[in-house]
Structure 1
Amino acid sequence: MNLFTQKEQIKGIIESLLFVAEKPLSIKILHTILNIHESYLKEIIYELAEEYKRRNSGIMIIKIEDSYQMVTNPQYADWIKIFKQQTNNKLSEQALETLAIIAYKQPITKAEIEKIRGVNSDYAIKTLMEKKLIKIVGKKEVPGRPFVYGTTKEFLKLFGLSSLNELPGIIDFKEVNAA
């Protein structure tokens, strides 16, 4: 493999890692993953960032201290808002399930939600927080003081409720299964 091809491959790998990373990636982490000298990594990231700038791309790479993150270009923020408004109205089955648990059991911790659901609920909680359907309402008075979640006025508005007292009752599933 010649040097040009190798450099392009490394560039593609870095681009992929930055794309899937949920938070900024440090040079140290990239060095650990790729085993490439930090100065060379910085050079490649700089080249990638410049390529995006040159073509006025919808994405860009920003530097945050000694880390890098791929973000959308603020120049296209209005289009992103339109897109989010049109696609942001639907909730996944997982998010609806999590929302129902929070609505009926609030205030409730993430660990309590996950115990009921039996699966990790990070993404569902994040989605519900972004949609402003739930919020952090405090911290539980136990070791570690985890956040407790509750529903918001947006939740009531979305479901046409004036208060949580209007939520339908919880059916005992044993009775349903027996019938």
Structure 2
Amino acid sequence: MDDREKKSIIEGLLFTFGDPLESKELARVLELPQKEVTRLLKEMKDEFDYNRRGIRLIKFNDFYQLGTRPEHHQWIKSIVLERNTKSLSNAALETLSIIAYRQPVTKAEIDHIRGVKSDRSIETLAMRRLVRETGRLDKPGKPILYGTTDEFLKYFGLESLDQLPPLEGLADSDYMEE
């Protein structure tokens, strides 16, 4: 496998995962020496910057993540604000329902229930002020706990969470296990 293919795989992994990945984890997945992966990541960062790509490779400590170029903020903000006026996606609604019924709940619990990462959905819901951070779980890593907001109640025309429809038939499922 040549460097071009290795970089392509790294870019795909970073894009798909979304969250920062450590170079040693990338090295493990690619079955390459960490020094080689670090070299490839540095080359990718330089190439993205030199070509003024719309995305950039962000490095902090030994973690890497794809992100947008800061100078594109005004255009990104424009479309995000435009999209916020649209209805919620199925993924966002699914995430919101999990938060509403299981709150306070961590992102890991939401991801487990959905079977996919929920970062973007949580971010969308937070931007629309439908969910918020309610605290941190007292366990290693201190994961963030999420809950609904008054804006959530207003959005769905509810006076309180007691007015949520019952979860008939779900009480016996894996979704409701503690």
What TM-score comes out, normalization by structure 1 length? 0.67
Larger-Rg structure: 1
Equivalent pair of 1:28/1:38 in contact (CA under 8 Å): yes
Distance of 2:131 and 2:35 partners within structure 1: 44
State the Cα distance separating 1:172 from its structure 2 match: 10
1:29 aligns with 2:2: no
Q: CA deviation at 1:62?
A: 1.4
Number of aligned residue pairs: 160
Tell me if structure 2 keeps the 8 A contact 1:156–1:164.
yes
Equivalent residue number for residue 151 of structure 2: 154
Structure 1 residue aligned with 2:40, among 28, 39, 44? 44
Report if the CA contact (8 A) 1:110-1:121 is conserved: no
TM-score, reference length from structure 2: 0.67
Q: Is the contact between residue 109 and residue 146 of structure 1 (CA under 8 Å) also seen in structure 2?
A: no
1:29-66 per-residue CA deviation (whole Å, 9 max, x = no partner) reads 11111122222212211111111111211111111101
Question: Partner letter of residue 164 of structure 1?
Answer: E
User: Matched residues in 1 for 2:115 and 2:42: separation?
Assistant: 36
Q: Secondary structure at the match of 2:88?
A: coil
Report the AA paired with residue 96 of structure 1.
L
CA distance in 2 between partners of 1:84 and 1:99 (Å): 19
Partner of 1:92: 89
Q: How does 1:94-133 map to 2 (within 5 A)?
A: 94-96=91-93, 99=96, 108-109=104-105, 119-120=114-115, 123=118, 124-125=121-122, 127-133=124-130
The answer (yes or no) to whether the contact 1:95–1:127 under 8 Å persists in 2 is yes
Aligned-CA RMSD value: 3.7
Aligned counterpart for 1:17 among listed residues 13, 20, 29: 13
Q: Which residue of 2 aligns with 1:164?
A: 159
State the identity as a percent: 33
Could you give the per-residue CA deviations for residues 112-161 of structure 1, whole angstroms, max 9, x where no partner exists? x97xxx745862555423432022445799xxx997654323334545x5
Q: Is the 8 A contact 1:107 1:137 kept in 2?
A: no
Contact 1:98 1:121 in 2 (8 A): no
